Amino acid sequence: MRASTLQIWLAALATLVALTPLPAAADTYRLDPSHTFVHWEVLHMGTSTSRGRFDKIEGSIAFDRQAATLDLGFTVDTRAISTGSTAFDGVLRGAQLLDAEQHPTAWFVARRATFEGEVPRQIHGEITLRGQSQPLTLTARRWKCGLNLLFRREVCGGDFEATLSRASFGMTLAAGLVSDEVKLLIQVEAIKDPAP
């Protein structure tokens, strides 16, 4: 190949590379602690449903609607559980259930989601509770993004559901009286990070 032909070819290649759009990076959103909570419910003695929530959640979402990708990671302070009964809260924090003294933090991390168009419908991840990790899929009941006038930034959020077996994490207190299946109801709102 002659030098002039090589120069033309390299110049054309450089132009092509320069004009080829790079894949857009996913936007990052920080969970809003005033609008993000993990609620739970479990059937008690086959009669009524016991409910509570965790009040301290921290985490972030990386979301790219065009590429249909969503990464989610958050931590839950297991000591910050609230049922409306101080005595019951103490039992839940105890060694036979959450064991909050030894395991003050639970995690959920997901790197894969199933989308319908630009909307995530299922988030496939892993929960770590009492030091044990297991797969967990969150199902979206709703998901929406829009401009928040207070923050003057985009906010994305939704409601998610999942179920887990408490016995699979070693929480067998009152087995037979309290259902093994725990339903999780997770409300999430996240504020888009400002542009760099």
> What domains are defined for the chain?
26-192 (2.40.128.110)
**Tens digit of each residue's pLDDT (9 = 90 or more) over 104-133:** 999 999 999 999 999 999 999 999 999 999
pLDDT attached to residue 24 = 55
Mean pLDDT of 78-88: 97
For residue 13, is pLDDT > 90? Answer: no
For residue 196, is pLDDT > 50? Answer: yes
Q: Is 127 helix (H, G, I), strand (E, B) or coil?
A: strand
b vs e for 141-171, b when ≥16 Cβ sit within 10 Å of the residue's Cβ?
Answer: eebebeebeeeeebbbbbebebebebeebeb
**Tens digit of each residue's pLDDT (9 = 90 or more) over 21-51:** 334 579 999 999 999 999 999 999 999 999 9
Mean pLDDT of 12-20: 36
pTM given for the model = 0.83
d(C-alpha 47, C-alpha 88), whole Å: 18
For residue 6, is pLDDT > 80? Answer: no
Contact yes or no for 68/75 (Cβ under 8 A): no
Contact yes or no for 183/42 (Cβ under 8 A): yes
